[in-house]
Amino acid sequence: MGKGGNQGKGATELEAPMPTFRWEEIQKHNLRTDKWLVIDRKVYNITKWSSRHPGGQRVIGHYAGEDATSQITEDFRALRKTAEDMNLFKSNQLFFLLHLAHIIAMESIAWFTIFYFGNGWIPTIITAFVLATSQAQAGWLQHDYGHLSVYKKSMWNHIVHKFIIGHLKGASANWWNHRHFQHHAKPNIFHKDPDVNMLHVFVLGEWQPIEYGKKKLKYLPYNHQHEYFFLIGPPLLIPLYFQYQIIMTMIVRKDWVDLAWAISYYTRFFITYIPFYGVLGSILFLNFIRFLESHWFVWVTQMNHIVMEIDREPYRDWFSSQLAATCNVEQSFFNDWFSGHLNFQIEHHLFPTMPRHNLHKIAPLVRSLCAKHGIEYQEKPLLRALQDIIGSLRKSGQLWLDAYLHK
């Protein structure tokens, strides 16, 4: 066997130095149940050491946890291979073509309504709701192309993505990619996921409200955030915050291609509706459409994330991290259409490039893997998911108040 390590300074006779071994010796004496630790090119048998060293079992427990993480990772890799064998990453081109067609159809119906019935209040409101629906659905469709889940060649996905988000919505593909890819990499992680950066308007999860409370930070009365959410959350996100951020991002970053696409949207919109409403009326009409779309967007996107764990970054494997930050909403034809299949948020986060029409096919296998490893797989009805947004804000607000008042 090996000669053992040299006794360090300060070692006592009662505590023998931990033996070290060459790799060849380990191969001769290694047991399946032994665990090994390498430090400074020396190899330690922590299984034997832990049996006689105080606290040694905690070390074993730590590495057992790593073994569990490794097993989850291996199982997830096997699951992805199964998905590939099932051709679940192959898109149905007709599905996306029909989706684009129904968006263009709504744009046409909106124009025809004003053209035929005039610009009275009732036709205007009906048209605004039709266009808001078209914008929401275009938002889900650009999401598909942004994730490169439609065409095999990335170039075609990028081209169509710029057309849909730029010409059909007046937004920036590069702005969206920059935000959304950070979200997928670190969902619900403070300072890394831009979707949980609330600019001091809301406090989320459990850690943030307590920190704000301890530091006596009170930018707004957070114990009432579940109430003022209705006034400044859904109504203002797209027409105020996103619209300003998108335009400024394109200008500051000199993203002239995306800016040209966005200008093509505004040009088309104003050419279409200025004859009916004039310049000022068209601007107000556009912002009313954004106002309606913003409600749709906020409620759908927040029902899958804001109600889940929001914290600093804990050490987790990829699979567990996504499950901790996402939940699903029950499947139905309406739920699928209404949310752009983001009711399968868990599966979308695990397989971002999988076409959305296949997410329901992999869901049973994901659920089975969660059951195997004791990981919670959350799925709820649509109305319950929407209600939970308010419940989550109320809970976080109360945590802030308790910490704020505590001396």
pTM: 0.82
The mean predicted confidence, pLDDT, of the chain is: 87
In sequence order, the β-bridge partners of residue 37 are 44
By CB neighbour count within 10 A (0-12 exposed, 13-18 middle, 19+ buried), where does 318 fall? middle
By CB neighbour count within 10 A (0-12 exposed, 13-18 middle, 19+ buried), where does 142 fall? buried
DSSP string, 47-68: HHHHTTSTTHHHHHHHHHHHHH
Residue 242, classed as helix, strand or coil, is helix
Q: Which residue has the higher pLDDT, 260 or 23?
A: 260
Nearest alpha carbon to residue 139 among 351, 350, 294? 294
The token pair at 347 is 């599966």
Of 59-73, 128-142, 200-214, 262-276, the poorest mean pLDDT is in: 59-73
Query: Could you tell me what percent of the chain has a pLDDT over 70?
Result: 83
Q: Which residue has the higher pLDDT, 173 or 34?
A: 173
- Segment 176-207, tens digit of pLDDT: 999 999 999 999 999 999 999 999 999 999 99
pLDDT band of residue 70 (cuts 50, 70, 90) is: confident
Which contiguous run of DSSP H or E holds residue 118?
none
In sequence order, the β-bridge partners of residue 189 are 311
Nearest alpha carbon to residue 295 among 128, 177, 180? 128
- Segment 273-301, tens digit of pLDDT: 999 999 999 999 999 999 999 999 999 99
Whole-angstrom distance between the N-terminal and C-terminal Cα of the chain? Answer: 61
Nearest alpha carbon to residue 132 among 320, 295, 315? 295
Over range 103-129, report the average pLDDT. Answer: 97
Over range 84-93, report the average pLDDT. Answer: 96
Residue 401, classed as helix, strand or coil, is helix
With 80 as the cut, is the pLDDT of residue 105 above it? yes
- Segment 300-338, tens digit of pLDDT: 999 999 999 999 988 788 899 999 999 999 999 999 999
- pLDDT at res. 67: 58
- Segment 385-406, tens digit of pLDDT: 999 999 999 999 999 999 999 8
Residue 21, classed as helix, strand or coil, is strand
With 90 as the cut, is the pLDDT of residue 169 above it? yes
In sequence order, the β-bridge partners of residue 354 are none
With 60 as the cut, is the pLDDT of residue 341 above it? yes
Nearest alpha carbon to residue 382 among 317, 316, 349, 333? 333
φ, ψ for residue 379 (rounded to 5)? -140, 140
Residue 243, classed as helix, strand or coil, is helix
pLDDT band of residue 57 (cuts 50, 70, 90) is: very low
- CA distance linking residue 102 with residue 62, whole number of Å: 54
The token pair at 394 is 């109320």
Of 56-65, 83-92, 169-178, 187-196, the poorest mean pLDDT is in: 56-65
- CA distance linking residue 36 with residue 57, whole number of Å: 14
With 70 as the cut, is the pLDDT of residue 226 above it? yes
